């Protein structure tokens, strides 16, 4: 076990040493640190006694570093600079400007990331910090200020507002649709390459469930690909590797720009689940959290 109290000298003598080594003057170091020259000299002496090494060569009107002092200066200066920078970062994060947002890969990559410029333009005082994971408990850790989660709207200890319901339909590239077998109704999909999602969302709809809800009981003859990341599922579909299930609002951008099409617009399935914006009970009064919630309700559903 490390015991830094036993291995490290007190901080004040290290600060006095760094200033003296940089200025090569106890007097200038004292002026910088608002201490007398005698106080600086005493702190340097106590540091040398602690280390058992002479750090400075003292002349009548000047000081210079010994070889041991020069080597020690490099370590101390770098360490103090790193410690000061880390302290500045932590104090900045503690001022409320950092807003930690939890979400899964699909929301983070396909919906939230393209909208970040709009968020930061609307609220320049907010610095977003994204906690992206398909593991729900990671998205809802104690340092997360707000989250966008898929489910039924019931999370213990959190308030939730529904952003949009779960609506699912098949999507594929125009090239795949043109060069593949006939696709006029849901039952035709059993003969197509279907790209399946395999991930942590047990309640995300699978191809088998979607086909069942469309009254298709045929076995799936072939699968184009199985991927454990929804953004990559959609990328695979866009590249023509098969047909994927498209979640409304997550694939709207690709459909709008023609990268993907919905070959069966009359077969959309809507479930009782959906995406919600969540915040911990008792935090809604925080200005930045409330601003983000309102922004989600007005902006994320318009894509």
Cα–Cα dist 252/275, whole Å:
15
Residues 194 and 51 both lie in one domain: no
Residues 110 and 62 both lie in one domain: no
- Looking at residue 272, its pLDDT comes to 92
Residues 28 and 114 both lie in one domain: no
- Looking at residue 168, its pLDDT comes to 95
Q: Return the bridge partners of 168, or none.
A: 247, 269
Cα–Cα dist 250/234, whole Å:
9
Instruction: Judge if pTM exceeds 0.85.
Output: no
Within a 10 A sphere around the Cβ of 178, how many other Cβ atoms? 10
Cα–Cα dist 210/215, whole Å:
9
Residue that is last in its domain, among 28, 58, 93: 93
Residue that is last in its domain, among 40, 63, 93: 93
Cα–Cα dist 212/210, whole Å:
5
8 A C-beta contact, residue 173 and residue 260? yes
Residues 65 and 173 both lie in one domain: no
DSSP class per residue in 49-90: HHHTS--EEE-SS-EEE-HHHHHHHHHHHHHHHHHHHHHHHH
8 A C-beta contact, residue 149 and residue 163? no
Residues 193 and 47 both lie in one domain: no
Cα–Cα dist 245/196, whole Å:
8
Residues 231 and 159 both lie in one domain: yes
Distances (CA, A) of 71 to 52, 53, 79: 15, 12, 13
Over residues 173-213, the pLDDT tens digits come to 999 999 888 899 999 888 889 999 987 667 788 898 999 99
Rounded average pLDDT per 10-residue block, the chain, 303 residues: 77 95 94 94 95 92 92 94 83 70 93 91 89 89 90 91 94 93 89 86 84 86 82 95 94 94 93 92 79 90 61
Residues 294 and 160 both lie in one domain: yes
Domain with 288 in it: what CATH number?
3.40.190.290
- Looking at residue 1, its pLDDT comes to 45
The total number of structural domains that make up the chain: 2
Residues 103 and 186 both lie in one domain: yes
- Looking at residue 6, its pLDDT comes to 78
DSSP class per residue in the chain: ---HHHHS--HHHHHHHHHHHHHT-HHHHHHHHT--HHHHHHHHHHHHHHHTS--EEE-SS-EEE-HHHHHHHHHHHHHHHHHHHHHHHHHHHTTT-EEEEEE-HHHIIIIIHHHHHHHHHH-TT-EEEEEE-SSHHHHT-TT-SEEEEEESS--TTEEEEEEEEEEEEEEB-HHHHHHSS--SSGGGGGGS-EEEE-SS-TTSPPHHHHHHHTT--SPP--EEEEES-HHHHHHHHHTTS-BEEEETTTSHHHHHTTS-B-S-GGG-EEEEEEEEEEEETT-TTSHHHHHHHHHIIIIIT--
- Looking at residue 79, its pLDDT comes to 93
Domain with 18 in it: what CATH number?
1.10.10.10
Residues 119 and 60 both lie in one domain: no
- Looking at residue 247, its pLDDT comes to 94
- Looking at residue 102, its pLDDT comes to 94
Handedness of CA 197, 260, 109, 104 (dihedral sign): negative
8 A C-beta contact, residue 186 and residue 215? yes
Residue that is last in its domain, among 62, 93, 124: 93
Residues 170 and 29 both lie in one domain: no
Residues 211 and 237 both lie in one domain: yes
Q: Which residue range is the domain that position 249 belongs to? A: 97-303
Q: Which residue carries 């006694």 as its tokens?
A: 49
Residues 301 and 218 both lie in one domain: yes
């Amino acid at each position: 076990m490390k015991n830094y109290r036993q291995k490290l000298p007190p901080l004040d003598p290290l600060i006095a040493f760094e200033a003296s080594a940089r200025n090569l003057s106890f007097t200038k170091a004292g002026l910088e640190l608002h201490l007398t020259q005698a106080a600086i000299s005493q702190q340097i002496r106590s540091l040398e006694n602690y280390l058992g090494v002479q750090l400075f060569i003292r002349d009548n009107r000047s000081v210079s570093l010994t070889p041991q002092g020069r080597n020690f200066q490099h370590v101390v200066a770098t360490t103090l600079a790193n410690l000061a920078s880390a302290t500045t970062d932590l104090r900045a994060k503690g001022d409320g400007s950092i807003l930690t947002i939890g979400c899964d890969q699909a929301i983070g990559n396909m919906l939230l990331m393209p909208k970040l410029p709009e968020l930061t333009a609307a609220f320049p005082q907010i610095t977003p910090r994204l906690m992206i994971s398909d593991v729900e408990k990671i998205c809802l850790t104690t340092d997360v200020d707000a989250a966008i989660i898929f489910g039924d709207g019931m999370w213990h200890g959190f308030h939730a507002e529904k952003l949009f319901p779960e609506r699912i339909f098949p999507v594929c590239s125009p090239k795949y649709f043109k060069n593949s077998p006939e696709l006029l109704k849901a039952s035709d999909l059993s003969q197509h390459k279907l790209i399946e999602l395999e991930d942590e969302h047990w309640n995300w709809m699978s191809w088998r469930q979607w086909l069942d809800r469309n009254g298709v009981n045929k076995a799936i003859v072939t699968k184009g690909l199985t991927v454990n990341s929804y953004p990559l599922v959609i990328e695979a579909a866009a590249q023509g590797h098969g047909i994927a299930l498209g979640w409304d609002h997550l694939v709207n951008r690709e459909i709008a720009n023609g990268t993907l099409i919905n070959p069966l617009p009359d077969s959309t399935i809507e479930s009782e689940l959906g995406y919600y914006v969540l915040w911990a009970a008792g935090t809604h009064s925080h200005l930045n959290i409330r601003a983000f919630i309102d922004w989600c309700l007005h902006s994320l559903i318009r894509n």
